[in-house]
Homo-oligomer: A and B are copies of this chain.
């Protein structure tokens, strides 16, 4: 990622806007090429596109002022968290002002009594976890990288514990948002439930910066489980592993995490982490309970279901050290994948999500379709939700590989949609999945356009992502 895309168009008011931003923020507004380049991309393969200017506000009022300058001079705004997007959410495809939120990193309030907390949007996930230590509470939404809570809210992120604790959809109680004209709103309250008006919180969660800039996030916390157990189990077939997952969910075993890795992933993990797990479809489990007995009990049920479906070598542990060792293979897969093609490979991770009854079909057909691909394609999946990822470990300078990747991904998405699923379970639309939005939502896409028009008629909020604004009637 060396070339910086040339922003089009050139905004007549850009120089005036830049002066106003500098006068507002001093050195925290910059047009330095290196900073613009850093903000031209996330972690995805999309062609970088740099903004014209990058701002680093330190509070909501400054974000509001930036939006007023954007409105005055008709210049786009792109919110930027930790830049870990897989789908090109942060690319400044039409230039403009990137708002890097990372200097808004204060933890405003942690209320153990209410099991909630409010943080500024730039607070990182791991920073937040650290702040929660000694409260007896935790926050379970855990996408792979160390992203910002604001970024996680705006992309409706999830992770490995969503099967029990939900995604950002379930774990955001309220948001502070700056609208396109600089107006500041608070969505929802700290009450656990409410029937008072349209659910604006859920509207902004997952809106990818296209409706406003999230500056504060109020999050639901969960008590730390008294006892935790982890298990790993290998299966004769992928189909058997998936059947074991489905029955575990159906019988109401409250698994906290249930992750699938295929034989390609296990092979990569063994090599990278110097382990000796069977090179076979594998489930990683985590159980949370009120005591060790409770956890053992859950594990016993899961084990018995696994064995009915060809699972063997069910290995489990409740000690912290053993647990960490068992999950290490799962957490390190990203690096293990890159190590499959050292110095050459980039990892392009694509995710879809289907109703769980179609999961086996969707995965097996996709793996069949992947046979003969010019690069390795390991699979990992948050399969308790019907969500899985195929990672193309490819050489991005090789045109044939890139073409094959696009084609395989396209067929996987269409397969998932045909099975009643969604084109992305947790990575978001960004640039990468825009072409599937209407295919998935049909005429409901027009409602999305109308909402975009209602909140951003001038199309200044992260334009070129999600939908273009348009009236419904």
Q: Which secondary structure dominates where chain A touches chain B?
A: loop
B290 close to A420 (CB less than 8 A): no
Q: Give the bracket for the number of chain A residues in contact with chain B.
A: 35 or more
Chain B's closest residue to A184 (CB) is B443
Q: A residues 206-233 with Cβ under 8 Å of B?
A: 206-207, 211, 222-226
B445 touches A197 (CB 8 A): yes
Q: A193-B385, A472-B454 are in contact. Are A250 and B199 (CB under 8 A)?
A: no
* Residues 382-431 of A contacting B (Cβ, < 8 Å): 385-387, 416-417, 420-429
Q: Judging by beta carbons under 8 Å apart, are A196 and B423 in contact? A: yes
Annotate A110-139 by CB proximity to B: 1 below 8 A, 0 otherwise: 011111100000000000000000001000
Partner of A206 from B181, B197, B301 at Cβ < 8 Å: B197
- B250 touching A112, Cβ below 8 Å: yes
Q: Does A70 contact B (CB under 8 A)?
A: no
User: Which residues of chain B are near A1, meaning CB under 8 Å?
Assistant: none
Given contact pairs A113-B357, A189-B440, A252-B226, A425 touches B183 in the complex (Cβ within 8 A):
no
Q: A442-B185, A444-B185 are in contact. Are A451 and B198 (CB under 8 A)?
A: yes
Tell me if A265 is interfacial: C-beta within 8 Å of chain B.
no
With a cutoff of 8 Å between Cβ atoms, the chain B residues found around residue A200 in the complex are 441, 444, 447-448
- Closest chain-B Cβ to A152's Cβ sits at a distance in Å of 11
CA A225 to CA B252, docked complex, whole Å: 7
**Cα A114 to Cα B385 with chains together (Å):** 10
Pick the interface stretch among A9-17, A277-285, A325-333, A348-356: A348-356
Q: 8 Å CB contacts to B: which residues of A156-212?
A: 156-158, 162, 166-167, 169-170, 179-181, 183-200, 202-203, 205-207, 211
Check if A253 is an interface residue, CB within 8 A of chain B.
Answer: yes
The residues of B that contact A188 with a CB separation of less than 8 Å are: 422
Whether the Cβ atoms of A187 and B444 lie closer than 8 Å is yes
Q: Which of B183, B211, B290, B453 contacts A253 (CB 8 A)?
A: B290
User: Interface digits, A431-473 against B, CB 8 Å rule (1 contact, 0 not)?
Assistant: 0010011001111111110110111010000000011000111
Contacts of A264 in B (CB 8 A): none
B-contact bits for A294-333, CB 8 A (1 contact / 0 none): 1001100100000000000000000000000000000000
Do B420 and A189 touch across chains, with their CB atoms under 8 A apart?
Answer: yes
Known: A114-B355, A301-B290, A355-B111. A196 touches B433 (CB 8 A): yes
Q: Is A155 an interface residue (CB 8 A)?
A: yes
Docked-complex contact A442 and B186, CB < 8 angstroms: yes
Inter-chain CA distance A445–B424, complex, in Å, is 31
The answer to whether residues A198 and B473 also contact, given A193-B425, A223-B251, A252-B226 and a CB cut-off of 8 A, is no
**Which residue of B194, B443, B446 contacts A424 across the interface (Cβ within 8 Å)?**
B194
**Is A338 an interface residue, CB under 8 A from the partner?**
no
A24 in contact (CB, < 8 A): no
Residue A107 is within 8 A (CB to CB) of chain B in the complex = no
A421 contacts B385, C-beta separation under 8 Å:
no
In whole angstroms, what is the CA distance A447 to B115 when docked?
28
Report whether B433 and A185 are in contact in the complex, using a CB–CB cutoff of 8 Å. Answer: no
Flag whether A25 is at the interface (Cβ < 8 A).
Answer: no
| A249: Cβ under 8 A from any B Cβ | yes
Asked if A104 CB lies within 8 Å of chain B CBs, one says: no
Q: Does A149 contact B (CB under 8 A)?
A: no
Residue A246, interface by CB 8 Å: yes
Q: How far is it, in angstroms, between the C-alpha of A224 and the C-alpha of B183 when the chains are bound?
A: 47
The B-contacting residues of A in range 231-262, CB under 8 angstroms, are 246, 249-254
Nearest-CB distance from A200 to chain B (Å)? Answer: 6
Q: Is the CB–CB distance between B199 and A205 below 8 Å?
A: yes
* Bound Cα distance from A253 to B156, whole angstroms: 28
Q: Which residues of B contact A453 (CB under 8 A)?
A: 454
A194 with B353, Cβ < 8 A, contacts A189-B422, A252-B223, A473-B181 known: yes
10 residue pairs A–B, Cβ–Cβ below 8 Å? A157-B195, A158-B193, A166-B170, A185-B446, A189-B420, A191-B421, A192-B386, A198-B466, A203-B451, A450-B454
Which 5 residue pairs of A and B lie closest in terms of their CB atoms, listed nearest first?
A223-B252, A202-B202, A113-B357, A194-B422, A454-B454
Residues on A facing B (Cβ under 8 Å): 111-116, 136, 155-158, 162, 166-167, 169-170, 179-181, 183-200, 202-203, 205-207, 211, 222-226, 246, 249-254, 290-291, 293-294, 297-298, 301, 353-357, 385-387, 416-417, 420-429, 433, 436-437, 440-448, 450-451, 453-455, 457, 466-467, 471-473
